[in-house]
Amino acid sequence: MKIAVDGPAGAGKSTISKILAKKLGINYLDTGAMYRAATYKTIKESIDPENEEAVVKAVENSDIYFKDNEIYLDGENVKIQIRSPQVNRLVSVISKIDEIRKIMVAKQKKISESSDVIMDGRDIGTVVMPDADYKFYLDASIEIRAKRRFEEMDDKSAMMSFESLKKEIAKRDEEDKNRKTGPLKVAEDAVVIDTSGLEIDQVVELMAKKIKGE
């Protein structure tokens, strides 16, 4: 079974996909973590993000993989590093580079061919698994998505204001929707769920019902 989950930041994709994967006894793959790891690599090596050739070379020469569902870069567990504000700001710039997308999509397609999986991202139903058994597009208002992300922050005063977080998410959405290759969009055959007024369990229930054919 292959399930594709796409949508903008904070729609609930990863939280819900993880629960659903457990429920269905299949693997979960967080494709955003792969683009984040590639971005972290460029930051670590002080590569100019505008220098596409250098970015691609660095990513080609790096080893990005999952072990026990956690993301690794060149042998180092980078699950904390990939969530930094710096990575948040830069990830959509790196992920719009065609060659970077090619590398990631090839890895993701390979994983999808070898096991039953629920994958979340931006181009899963459209590019990575166009033949998925089920496709979902989770959405929510920008206000709600920013609020969810704001509430996740440990030390709110030390990080950023709600307004700047909202702006940053809106900017990333715009970049993801408007890039040439693999933009964020609703796959023709996807079920769209607006999660704005829904609890996590309610979204999981809706998706599980669709999968069971109810």
Binding site for ligand CDP (CB under 6 A): 7, 9-15, 31-32, 35-36, 91-92, 95, 121-124, 148, 152, 172, 176, 195, 198-200, 203
Structure tokens at 147: 């609020």
Nearer to ligand CDP, 47 or 193 (CB): 193
Nearer to ligand CDP, 47 or 91 (CB): 91
Say how far residue 59 (Cα) sits from the centre of its chain.
18
14 is in an annotated binding site: yes
Nearer to ligand CDP, 54 or 93 (CB): 93
How far apart CA 109 and CA 31 sit, in angstroms, is 11
Q: How many CB atoms lie within 10 A of CB 213?
A: 5
Q: In the bound complex, what is the minimum distance in angstroms from residue 131's beta carbon to ligand CDP? A: 16
9 is in an annotated binding site: yes
Backbone dihedral region for residue 68 (phi beyond 0: left; psi -120 to 50: alpha; all else: beta): left
Q: In the bound complex, what is the minimum distance in angstroms from residue 117's beta carbon to ligand CDP? A: 13
Backbone dihedral region for residue 12 (phi beyond 0: left; psi -120 to 50: alpha; all else: beta): left
Annotated binding site for ATP: 7-15
Q: Which residues are annotated as a binding site?
A: 7-15
